[in-house]
Amino acid sequence: MARIKPQALLQQSKRKKGPSRISATTIIFYFLILALIGFFLFASYRHWSSRSRLQSENHLSVSQGENTFGGESKKSDLPGYAVLNTSKGSIIIKLYKESAPEVVDEFIDLCQKGHFKGMLFHQVIKHYVIQAGDNQGTGAAEDWNLRGKQHTISSMKHEAFMLGTSKGKHNNKGFDLFITTAPIPDLNEKLIVFGQVIKGEDVVQEIEEVDTDEHYKPKISIGILDVTLKQKV
């Protein structure tokens, strides 16, 4: 038997232990598998991410809807009418919650605190306005009346039996109440109208007819006994 040389045995052993070659087809096959796995992972991520976003948006929409409904409900719960109980009788006023919401809110808050209880009508100008409130000076209504008589052209913006308050910061000047007894030229420049007398016009006219001094101050005390807020009348 022929002997195999040690060097030949060593080379033969290396050939047997060496790594086997991977074909190009196998590489492509594994690459496709990895690509499919990556695609499914990405698709799953997109699906759950989209679902989570939709749930968040739906929750936000529901929350906003509840807040809106709550705001509308709260607004509708506000009193729509005020009854001024005066020493001459009751005056029922419809409040303009839509056109003057901030002033109406302030008026309602003051009514609930009893702010107008015992308040006097301190200026009464016939065929013009009756005024009650914190400002006891002679200014407002008297000044408007004098300057109004100087106008040759009247702007009938302000109708009779409207309830308003003077413009400006009420914290400094108080909260005056004006009830007009006739259409008044350019009074909208001075007043914020926030209500209208719907019953008790005769009471307003009776207050209007009282005797006053030269500054339109009633010679007898006429005041607001209290104010009752109502949803309906």
Q: pLDDT tens for residues 50-95?
A: 766 656 555 444 344 444 444 444 556 789 999 999 999 999 999 9
Q: How many residues does the chain have?
A: 233
Whether the CB-CB separation of 158 and 193 falls below 8 Å is answered with yes
- Of 23-32, 62-71, 123-132, 215-224, the one with minimum mean pLDDT is 62-71
The top-scoring range by mean pLDDT among 7-16, 88-97, 139-148, 172-181 is: 88-97
Please give the DSSP secondary-structure letter assigned to residue 187: G
Rounded to a whole number, what is the largest CA-CA distance in the chain?
154
**132-153 average pLDDT score:** 51
pLDDT level of residue 173 (50, 70, 90 thresholds): low
Task: Kindly calculate the radius of gyration of the chain based on its CA atoms and give it in whole angstroms.
Answer: 42
Regarding pTM above 0.75, the answer is no
Closest by CA to 186, choosing from 209, 212, 213, 167, is 167
Which residues of 53-145 form beta strands (DSSP E)? 81-86, 89-95, 121-125, 129-132
pLDDT level of residue 139 (50, 70, 90 thresholds): very low
Whether the CB-CB separation of 139 and 156 falls below 8 Å is answered with no
**Does pLDDT of 123 surpass 80?**
yes
φ, ψ dihedrals at 35, nearest 5°:
-65, -40
Alpha-carbon distance of 94 to 191, in angstroms, equals: 17
Alpha-carbon distance of 68 to 113, in angstroms, equals: 28
Alpha-carbon distance of 99 to 72, in angstroms, equals: 15
Give burial (CB, 10 Å; 0-12/13-18/19+) of 116: buried
Alpha-carbon distance of 167 to 193, in angstroms, equals: 10
Alpha-carbon distance of 208 to 206, in angstroms, equals: 5
The residues that bridge with 218 in the sheet, in sequence order, are 212
- What is the SS3 assignment for 63-87? HHHHHHHHHHHHHHHCCCEEEEEEC
Task: Report the helix count and the strand count for the chain, using DSSP H and E.
Answer: 6, 8
